[in-house]
Amino acid sequence: MKVGLFIPCYVDQFYPGAAIATLRLLEKLGVEVAYPPKQTCCGQPMANSGFEHLTGDCNELFVKNFAEFDYIVAPSGSCVLHIRDHLHDDKHPEAAKSISHKIYELTSFLTDVLKVKSLPAKFPHRVGLHQSCHGQRGLHISSMTELVTPEFSKPGSLLKMVADIDLVDLTRKDECCGFGGTFCVTEEAVSVKMGKDRVADHLKHDVSYITGVDMSCLMHMEGILKRQGSKVKVIHIAEILNAG
């Protein structure tokens, strides 16, 4: 099984630790992983701003980088959702279609493809799990409070395999943090208020770490935590699953 590692642009630049943990975790689980060096971005920032029609070159590049792999794994629900829903390449339509079927967000790759049942991880801290909307409502990596369906959580089930972790239940289990791509600046007031409220829910439950499958949500909440002078840290779920 050959897995291509897709690292979203802002993770590459700002959170290399999350990317390294993803790579090491996959290697630890016996997967052959390669990181195509010429990758850039999935094109979502443009598309969500209404510029999907300008993402053609981005798409073409993505297909060129990842067509050869059996699976593509990324430590982000949001970027994966974008590729699944919107990747198209007029010159290589089949390749683009096949990519959208074989790209996985990290935790669902672990639960659904590798079928991980245990992890040698240890993380002796109190942790709140932020349900990133695109992973949850877009990729269905966990059940949603709006729907009358059985409860499940792929990231939650993996965190439960981690020794000594103290996972809290939030008051609002799956409310959006307000990042929303360019929404975070075009709708600054609401975005910040949403972020503050999300952070407050975690703080109320006395967490030391906020984790999640999307670094973008975590970056947003980190910006608020830091401004508040809080000692609470954000950490990508890959870093917890790879810890200890």
Site for other proteins in 157-186 (CB under 8 A): 172, 174-176, 178-186
Residues 103-142 contacting other proteins, CB under 8 A: 133-134, 137-138
Q: Does 204 bind other proteins (CB under 8 A)?
A: no
Residue 129 burial (CB count, 10 A): 25
**Contacting residues for 147 by C-beta, under 8 A, at least 6 apart:** none
CB burial string 165-194: b at 16+ within 10 A, e below: bebeebeebbbbbbbbbebbeeeeeebbeb
Kindly state the smallest distance separating residue 121's Cβ from other proteins, in Å: 21
> φ and ψ at 209, to 5 degrees?
-135, 145
Kindly state the smallest distance separating residue 206's Cβ from other proteins, in Å: 21
Residues 50-89 contacting other proteins, CB under 8 A: 50-55, 57-58, 60-61
Kindly state the smallest distance separating residue 164's Cβ from other proteins, in Å: 27
Kindly state the smallest distance separating residue 80's Cβ from other proteins, in Å: 15
Q: Which is nearer to other proteins, 189 or 231 (CB)?
A: 189
**Alpha carbon distance, N-terminus to C-terminus of the chain:** 26
Nearest to 10 by CA among 179, 227, 203: 179
Q: Does 17 bind other proteins (CB under 8 A)?
A: yes
Q: Does 16 bind other proteins (CB under 8 A)?
A: yes
Candidate list 114, 116, 161, 219; residue touching other proteins; CB under 8 A: 219
**Contacting residues for 230 by C-beta, under 8 A, at least 6 apart:** 199, 203
Q: Does 4 bind other proteins (CB under 8 A)?
A: no
Q: Which is nearer to other proteins, 138 or 244 (CB)?
A: 138
Q: Which stretch binds other proteins (CB under 8 A): 39-47, 66-74, 93-101, 109-117?
A: 39-47
Beta bridge partners of 129: 211
Residues 139-158 contacting other proteins, CB under 8 A: 144-149
